[in-house]
């Protein structure tokens, strides 16, 4: 496709992630957006530098990946665009305008849903001089690094994910009969729909255990596998610059935010999500 020649690509790590330059997401046409999505599907993580996106520009680009997902926490979405969630520690007119510290701890977004979000996009307008790095772990590389006999033991296992478990972790009180989002079961090993590559799809925060395995054995195994998959050799550390667009594929990566000095620095980011399918 001719459009794919309009931008330049550089790997972020050997076999994981890609940085794209020489593209202006605000002004390019749908053919370029499509070529970006095709590239993204093969790399797990994509960084696009030096962008200037209005909220509507970001929505147009997000739409190229699929159907944008609204965020249930309306207090921090843009008033006229509920699909854009504001991550920010800025105070405007005496009011918090965003979630000041989203997403700490290794996880994959909304894994407690029957159909977790496919990908997550962050667009940075203000970033701290230090801290707030986003870490991304390559779950395909982690799977490929396991010996075949270990892969055979794990393939086919099912993990119980729970929104209630996450709320308990965040110390959010729920009534005992609150079943707003029922627990779901997802495969531990997930095949990517673009090319069938397998990912060791483990997580923390939402997991209750492994189906058919008593605890603490099940939770211990999940902790062991997350620790394995998040070794430095599988992790890309994104250091933020103003104008960065970072997109990760929740079907084959884990991510975590890292802290920064909230009293010293401002961070202001717009996040969008794209609806996903049932993992298989």
Binding site for Fe ion (CB under 5 A): 103, 109
Nearer to Fe ion, 102 or 219 (CB): 102
Nearer to Fe ion, 58 or 253 (CB): 253
- State in angstroms the smallest separation of the CB of 103 from Fe ion: 4
Nearer to Fe ion, 83 or 109 (CB): 109
- State in angstroms the smallest separation of the CB of 89 from Fe ion: 17
CA–CA gap between residue 233 and residue 160 (Å, rounded)? 27
Any idea what DSSP says for residue 185? Answer: E
Nearer to Fe ion, 88 or 146 (CB): 88
- State in angstroms the smallest separation of the CB of 107 from Fe ion: 6
Tokens (6 digits) for 211: 């189906």
Angle between helices 55-63 and 30-41 (to 10 degrees): 60
- State in angstroms the smallest separation of the CB of 271 from Fe ion: 9
Nearer to Fe ion, 103 or 209 (CB): 103
- State in angstroms the smallest separation of the CB of 252 from Fe ion: 15
User: Which residues neighbour 195 within 8 Å (Cβ) at sequence distance 6 or greater?
Assistant: 41, 42
**Rounded to a whole number, what is the distance in angstroms from the first to the last CA of the chain?**
30
Residue number, nearest CB to Fe ion:
103
Nearer to Fe ion, 98 or 103 (CB): 103
**Closest by CA position to 214, among listed 160, 279, 164:** 160
CB 29 within 8 A of CB 23: no
- The full length of the chain comes to 280
CA–CA gap between residue 220 and residue 209 (Å, rounded)? 9
- State in angstroms the smallest separation of the CB of 243 from Fe ion: 21
Backbone angles phi, psi at 164, to 5 degrees: -60, -40
* CA-based torsion, 10, 271, 137, 116: positive or negative: negative
């Amino acid at each position: 496709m001719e459009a794919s020649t309009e931008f330049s690509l550089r790997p972020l790590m050997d076999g994981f992630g890609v940085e794209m330059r020489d593209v202006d997401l605000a002004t390019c046409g749908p053919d370029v957006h499509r070529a970006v999505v095709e590239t993204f599907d093969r790399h797990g993580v994509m960084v696009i530098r030096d962008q200037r996106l209005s909220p509507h520009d970001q929505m147009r680009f997000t739409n190229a990946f699929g159907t944008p997902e609204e965020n249930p926490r309306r207090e921090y979405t843009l008033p006229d665009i509920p699909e854009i969630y504001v991550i920010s520690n800025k105070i405007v007119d005496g009011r918090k305008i965003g979630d000041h510290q989203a997403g700490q701890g290794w996880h994959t977004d909304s894994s407690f849903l029957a159909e977790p979000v496919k990908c997550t996009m962050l667009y940075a307008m203000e970033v701290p001089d230090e801290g707030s790095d986003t870490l991304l772990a390559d779950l395909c590389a982690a799977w490929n690094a396991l010996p075949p006999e270990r892969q055979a033991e794990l393939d086919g296992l099912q993990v119980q994910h729970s929104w209630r478990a996450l709320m308990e972790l965040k110390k959010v009180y729920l009534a005992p009969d609150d079943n707003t989002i029922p627990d779901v079961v997802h495969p531990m090993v997930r095949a990517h729909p673009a090319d069938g590559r397998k990912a060791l799809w483990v997580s923390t925060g939402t997991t209750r255990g492994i189906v058919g395995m008593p605890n603490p054995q099940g939770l211990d195994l999940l902790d062991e596998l997350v620790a394995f998959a998040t070794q430095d050799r599988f992790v890309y550390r994104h250091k933020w610059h103003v104008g960065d667009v970072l997109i990760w594929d929740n079907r084959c990566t884990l991510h975590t935010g890292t802290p920064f000095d909230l009293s010293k620095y401002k961070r202001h980011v717009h996040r969008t999500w794209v609806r996903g399918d049932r993992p298989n």
